[in-house]
Each structure stands twice: as structure tokens, then as C-alpha cells.
Structure 1
């Protein structure tokens, strides 16, 4: 698709060379600004593997804009985008967003969410034009000052196995309020994802907690932390996560996690463990 001298293309699974182009674009946009584009490179968890989730804009051979869709749920897609500073106000962002929404409509994804760093002035302007309602923030938090003090207690941790998947799905469905089938699919996909390892925590014979650790070149990310609601309020979540952190290699990678601003209990837990807010990504209905 071409518009006003720009060429627009989309992919469900781009080549390594295209991914490098996107990474270079993101680096050029984010570099030195302290602003996070929130462009997602981890689409293995997308519910529909055939759906295009990378949307690119070229001026000749130069990649000048990109949007991605992260859609681990069948009914919701998160759209992030970035455009080179010298190509803004040319309609590129609007065209990328429209293209992403068109694909989500085609795949019957009813809920479309635009995400934007709260510090981005140009992003705020874009949001005012294209979004309707601010929903919440997602804080990326980083562990500062070293690991929290290890704890002794009743929670035993281990690497998750395929046999744990049904119980892991039950815990996540109960903790997050998601449909069981959706949680089961998410856990199954997470278990086979590259550079992602699942952990479970048990108290006696009861499996009570779940999380995943994703490792990249720059960081170790804690994902999908969930404690069975029947066992919450007893300190098991703090003990579980502390032991998970101590089980990771001492390789110098920074440890990060994301938390929804509406999840006050989890936010307080992460602060007590020594995590600090690194970025504030706002979520908007479009």
C-alpha cells in the first residue's frame, strides 16, 4: 500500500533483517530521550499466529515508521507505534494506526488499545487526536539496590513442567479473572516460548503461585506473576517472588517487570522488594 510517497507493508512474522531495521528505528527514536516507544518484539504469545502484527512505513528504502500489535487475548490488541522525528506530521502514524485497526477488525478483535509513554510530547498529541478514553497505566519497574533479602518459609519453588499447565492455568484464571480456556492457551504458549521459563510455587501439596522469567540480551523480565486468591494475604507472593529472584543467574542483567496501575497490592509488593518505576506507559481506548 502506498500513500503520499510512502510505502506501507505488514508482516505476521518478519525476517531477521526486517526485525533489525525495526530495532534500528526504535533506537533512533528512543535514543537519549528517556522515552519508551513500547514497540513489541515478543509476538510469540499472540493468540492468532496468522494475524499481521508488524506494520511498517518506508520512504524509499528507509524505514520511517513502525507499529506493532500485541494480542495475547482473542478480543484485545495493544497497538504501539513510533515514527522518525524528521518524518512526523506527515500522516505516517495515522496511516499505521488505521492499518493496524483494519487488521484487528478483520480478525474480529473488538478491543483496540493505543499505548504511549507518558513522557512523550508528540505521543500525547497523537493520543489526543486518535484515542477516546484513558484506561490505566502500566509501570515498568526495575530492581534497584540488589536482591531483596532471602526469606525462609513454607513456599517451595521449582521450574514448571507440562504436567503443571492445567493448575497454572487455573491459578492465572482465578488471579486475573480471565476465562479458563484463554488462560490455558496463554500458559501453553508461554511454556514453549524461546528464552522464557515457567516457575511454580507450592505450599505442602498445594501449587499456589506461578510466574515466568524472560531473558533477553539486556534484561531479565518477570512476567505473569499470579497467586491463587485462596492463598493470598499470607505473604506467599512475596516469599515466592523473592525466591525466584534469588534463583536467577548472577550475570549482571537488570531485572524488570510490568505492573498495572490499578493493581495496588502488586505495586506495593514490588516496591517492598526494591523495584522502582522506570517508565509509565498509558493505555487508551481507540
Structure 2
């Protein structure tokens, strides 16, 4: 589907030539800004059940801007990641893509819309401010450094059993995820049923004396695998069980020889940040999230 605008054309279907153009845009962005794109090309162009996930802005045959829409869970907001070519800024490209992204949000009926910016770039913050973005929170992107893993000695009787969840255990996962993240069980059940069948996703369960107390999920794109949806039931928090689960999945992924193991954590979540650092993760960048407020945007 293509959509004409006063500043060019919006495309939502990505062809092989579009993919090459996006790769060149990402490289030009990296050279100009001095930082990598927040999301890898492989992840942005991976198949999605919530199309369109990509919005491309063309001026003639030139790709001038690109936006990726990410919708992680049914209870979460849609996240917007975007870039405009350095030679085409302040010409309305960013605003056109932003308005197209808001139209997608309205059609999907998601709970909200978040604009994601690299915390090191003033340009992202300026765009969010000009478009009435209200700062919500920041997240650290962390990657595993196996040399820095600290392994405590566990006392007897405190061992968590850790295993991969089976497709028949959707009800158990639904209970664990909905309780850990205070989300609707109905929405979680539908999402987990779909996610657990995806080739690049796996769910795991932590058990204490046979009782499920926590879960996590891994999502792989190319050579990278992310640890996500990691939660422990409230009564079992602060007792070391989450650490056991995290180290168990880290060891499993290292045994599988994943070269890039990563996760995200809110900057204000001191307990989680300390846990991840002690388990060998280090921060490589920080992202700022801005809540999109409806209103008249500025040109960009």
C-alpha cells in the first residue's frame, strides 16, 4: 500500500530494493550521528502479524526517511523508531512519517504510542518536544559479557528448577505473566498462544518444589537473542529465585553459542539493574521514551 503526501510518498510494503535502500539509510545515519540504529535491520524487517510494521518515505526514487513500529504485547503501547536522512531534515519528512504512525496506532487501537529516541542524541529529544511528546521513562540496553558473571553459592533447599515451557502450558504461562506484569489474563493468553508457536521465540518456567513461580521468554533475530518478559510472582521476589532463573538462561544460551545476548531494563529499576550487572550484563546505550500526545506537530 502506498500513500501520497505533500512531501513525498509513504510505502508500507518492503521490497528487495527497499531493503537495500533502508540499509544505506541506516549506514548514512550511523556515519552522520556517530551511533548505531536503535533496532537492527533484521529485527525491523522480520515478519510481523501486525502489519504494517514499517513506513518508508520516498521523494522520487530517494528513500528520505524510515519508521519501524513495534508492538511487543497486547497490553503494551506501540513503540516508534525512526530516522530521516541527514540531507532531508527540516523538510517535513519526519512529521509525515510521524502522522502516518499515529494513523496506524489509531487503527490498531493500542493502549498508547511511545516515541523512542537515543538518549545520546539531542535531535531525537528536540523532535519529541516539537511534537508534544511527554517524557515517560528511559531504558538501558544491556549486553552480556561472560567474563563479568558473578556466581553466588546457593544454600540447600533454595534451588529453582528451570526448564523450557511446552505449548500445552499456555495456562500456566498466562497466570505467571499476567500476575508478574499485572496484565489481563485474557489478553495474555491470546498473545502467549500465538508467541509460543513462533520459530524464534521460546518460553521458560522456573519452579520451586514443583510450583511455577516465574517465567521468561527469549526472542532471536539473526545472531542476537534477547531475554524478555522476565518476571517472578510477587510473593517470591527478593529471595534470589530470579537470579537463579537468569543465570540458568544465560548458561543455556552460552552453551548454544549465541554471540549476542541482550536485554533491556528501566534506568530507575535499581534492583533489576544491579541483578543484571552482577550476572554479567553491561550497558551499551540508553533510550528515552516519550508518550505521544495528540495535537499539531511541528515540521521536521
TM-score by length of 1: 0.88
How big is the alpha-carbon RMSD for the aligned residues of Structure 1 and Structure 2? 2.5
Q: 1:180 aligns with which of 185, 188, 195?
A: 185
Number of the residue aligned with 2:140: 139
| Deviation of 1:166 (Å) | 1.1
| Deviation of 1:110 (Å) | 4.7
Number of the residue aligned with 2:261: 255
Number of the residue aligned with 2:297: none
Distance 1:130 1:35, change over 3 A: farther
| Deviation of 1:50 (Å) | 5.0
Q: Is the 8 A contact 1:142 1:257 kept in 2?
A: yes
Distance 1:7 1:197, change over 3 A: same
Q: Is the 8 A contact 2:144 2:261 kept in 1?
A: yes
| Deviation of 1:162 (Å) | 1.1
**Unmatched 5+ stretches in structure 2:** 293-300
Distance 1:37 1:245, change over 3 A: closer
| Deviation of 1:4 (Å) | 4.3
Q: Distance in 2 between matches of 1:149 and 1:233?
A: 17
* Greater alpha carbon shift after TM alignment, 70-79 vs 134-143: 70-79
Number of the residue aligned with 2:298: none
Number of the residue aligned with 2:62: 62
Q: Give runs of aligned pairs for residues 114-263 of structure 1, distance below 5 A.
A: 114-146=115-147, 148-150=149-151, 153-248=158-253, 249=255, 251=257, 253-263=259-269
Q: Is the 8 A contact 1:116 1:281 kept in 2?
A: yes
Distance 1:83 1:173, change over 3 A: same
Q: Can you list the C-alpha shifts for 1:74-101, whole angstroms capped at 9, x where unaligned? A: 6621111111111111110110000110
Q: Distance in 2 between matches of 1:252 and 1:169?
A: 28
Q: Does 1:280 align with 2:280?
A: no
Give secondary structure in 1 for the equivalent of 2:215.
strand
| Deviation of 1:134 (Å) | 0.4
* Greater alpha carbon shift after TM alignment, 104-113 vs 222-231: 104-113
Q: Give runs of aligned pairs for residues 6-17 of structure 1, distance below 5 A.
A: 6-11=8-13, 14-15=14-15
Give secondary structure in 2 for the equivalent of 1:233.
coil
**Unmatched 5+ stretches in structure 1:** none
| Deviation of 1:35 (Å) | 4.5
Q: Is the 8 A contact 1:214 1:223 kept in 2?
A: yes
Count residues in correspondence.
Answer: 281
Number of the residue aligned with 1:28: 28
Q: Distance in 1 between matches of 2:108 and 2:139?
A: 26
Distance 1:110 1:186, change over 3 A: closer
Number of the residue aligned with 1:265: 271
Distance 1:251 1:102, change over 3 A: same
